Amino acid sequence: MELWYAAARKWTEILQMPEFEIRVQLVPGKPLIFDNWRMLHGRTAFTGNRRVCGGYIGMDDFMARWRMFNGGGEGKGMGG
């Protein structure tokens, strides 16, 4: 258990390093798009009203649509 807790503390330390943090101030009408598989994300404290709308698309659906608009077929484009 000691090794696990030491690793958890180190992971927390890494996650809190400023050089790995991106802060974005959202404004109405401005979308924020990111790869949910590649980044951890969260929100800081906030006072006032907050309305967050989210949408999700699976990687298979994304890749199928990307291929459709970028030459179609297997073996072309990103990762295919």
Q: How confident is the model over 51-80, as pLDDT tens digits?
A: 778 888 888 998 899 999 998 765 544 554
Q: Please count the structural domains in the chain.
A: 1
Q: How far apart are CA 34 and CA 42, in angstroms?
A: 12
Q: In this prediction, what percent of the chain has a pLDDT beyond 90?
A: 29
Residue 76 maps to a domain: no
- Residue 34 domain boundaries: 2-69
Q: What is the pTM of this model?
A: 0.49
d(CA 4, CA 59): 32
Both ends of the chain: CA-CA distance in Å? 42
Angle, CA 30 vertex, CA 29 and CA 35 arms, to 5°:
135
Quick check: is 77 in a domain? no
- The whole-number pLDDT of residue 80 equals 47
78 assigned to some structural domain:
no
